[in-house]
Amino acid sequence: LERQLLMQNQMRERQTAMQIAWTREFLKYFGTFFGLAAAGLTAGAIRKKNPGVLLPIVPLSFIFAYQYDMGYGTLLQRIKGEAENILDTESTLLELPKGPLTYEDLEKIRRSQSKFFVEK
């Protein structure tokens, strides 16, 4: 059992590391896009003398800030803290509908899906 728990924890840590690495890589590409878009929109707003051209920068900046916070900031620590708070104070939200699965429930499902099982 201890080996299984260690393996599950290692898999969770590796998946989290992959998620952070993916976010950091995505941030490089999105950051480049955001920088070019901001420069282009700013130049267009100055040329046309219309500040409304800059409006797409607002949602793009929220996406950029989120991705930066996920990759290099404290977002994961805040998420972990909120998850711990939910586990401590709002655990009723985590209950499964109809309660936890039991062996008997699984057997009923297996029997109903089995083509070869004959009820005695």
Cα 76 to Cα 31, 42, 68, 110, distances in angstroms: 20, 33, 11, 39
Residue 19 is predicted with a pLDDT of 93
| Token duo for residue 32 | 């480049």
Residue 119 is predicted with a pLDDT of 58
Residue 71 is predicted with a pLDDT of 94
CB atoms within 10 A of CB 26: 13
The Cα–Cα gap between 26 and 68 comes to 10
The pLDDT tens digits for 28-61 are 999 999 999 999 999 999 999 999 999 999 999 9
Q: Which backbone phi and psi does 105 adopt, to 5 degrees? A: -60, -45
Residue 1 is predicted with a pLDDT of 87
Residue 115 is predicted with a pLDDT of 72
Residue 114 is predicted with a pLDDT of 80
C-alpha torsion angle, residues 6, 8, 10, 12 (rounded to 10): -150
pLDDT-flagged residues of the chain (< 70): 116-120
Residue 120 is predicted with a pLDDT of 56
